[in-house]
Structure 1
């Protein structure tokens, strides 16, 4: 039986081997094709995409394993190109490897699955008090709280990069453990299964990991 082709779009550079290490075991019989909004660009090119006041901020990974911070507006046309390429390659579903908010302007002949939208539908059903929202950068604090206060009773923002090792993640988890939050949302596709386990170990709270949630929802649509 031939495998099913699905696509994945990262706002950074593809392939996202850090993400697929956790999700491919959850996608049996699937051929995953990847494209990125920063594909083909050098770090010098990306430096021109630095966010200014009022910009929507994204953080993502490059193929060399490092991370970059940039304004969403610069990659939107490139993300559309990635979608079109994946459609033309025969993908029947396209996953977004980013939990950020995106405008409803992308054109696609196949379903686009945004983990951020899945999270916003799921989280209010299982959190009744304060919720810890963990983002990669302090620059995302205001936009994160602005988003989540529409869906959660009392979101509390924390920041730790998933791209700089597990020591910082454990330190952040210990900070969350000192709060009375009843759930943790790791609000970036870059957080790993191991990082989820660190938060569970340190906090004893429910922890939602977007990358594995995304894969499980995708399987329902195939």
Structure 2
């Protein structure tokens, strides 16, 4: 059994259904890091300033919460999944968690998969990175520069996705790859981008699915 941890609240049927469809043979339990918190408690988390803002889904709405604020809530759900019998868990976020979680089970972190995949497929260091919110642009630029790339970073919400901004942002010189840097970007988003641009494009959710199928 595999645990899935979304950073907001459950359910996230869009994420759960992807893994159930593409990782046949495995059973999944999905929990939210902020499950059980009142709306007021969640609102209080959003006032914290930080270095890496994340867009988290709360029901049908979204809030922006810093990555550091979420750490204890994520660790609590990791322990909960372990108690339920999960052998490993997936953190459903491609953000840069520059710390380790206290855990008795392996944690699959999509940011590592994205970094390794893009490095393994690079023709040069120029990449286009798509973030889900504008508040994350600076943090994602810093992240991908730390990986050794020259990123152009733009923001396009997964729920209002259009290739127009991507095509407008592409420089005249050579861009080797496009990274859709959020777990909520789907296979359909990737196929649309590749059709419009002809550049290799990556989504973290597909990379996680591929890794799970290797176990």
TM-score (norm 2): 0.90
**Cα displacement (A) at 1:109:** 1.5
Q: Distance in 1 between matches of 2:28 and 2:10?
A: 12
Unaligned runs of 5+ in 2: none
Distance 1:51 1:10 in 2: 20
Q: How does 1:44-63 map to 2 (within 5 A)?
A: 44-50=40-46, 53-62=49-58
Q: How many aligned residue pairs are there?
A: 213
Where does residue 183 of structure 1 map in the other structure? Answer: 177
Q: What is the distance in 1 between the residues matched to 2:44 and 2:125?
A: 41
Tell me, yes or no, if structure 1 residue 17 matches structure 2 residue 10. no
The alpha-carbon deviation at position 21 of structure 1 amounts to 3.0
Moved more, 49-58 or 183-192: 49-58
Q: Secondary structure at the match of 1:108?
A: coil
Q: Does 1:208 align with 2:205?
A: no
Computed over aligned residues only, the root mean square deviation of the Cα atoms, in angstroms, reads 1.8
C-alpha separation in 1, matches of 2:169 and 2:184: 19
Secondary structure of the residue that 1:213 maps to in structure 2? helix
Report the Cα offset of residue 140 of structure 1: 1.0
SS at match of 2:3: strand
Structure 1 unaligned runs (5+)? none
Kindly provide the CA deviation profile for residues 34-84 of structure 1, in whole angstroms up to 9, marking residues without a partner as x: 11112123444322222555432111222x332221112222111111000
The residue aligned with 1:151 is 147
Higher relative contact order, chain-length normalized (CA < 8 Å, sep 6+)? 1
What's 2:167 paired with?
174
Distance 2:101 2:75 in 1: 6
Deviations 1:4-48 (A, max 9, x none): x10011111122212233332221111101111121234443222
1:122 matched to which residue of 2?
Answer: 117
CA contact (8 A) 2:179 2:203 kept: yes
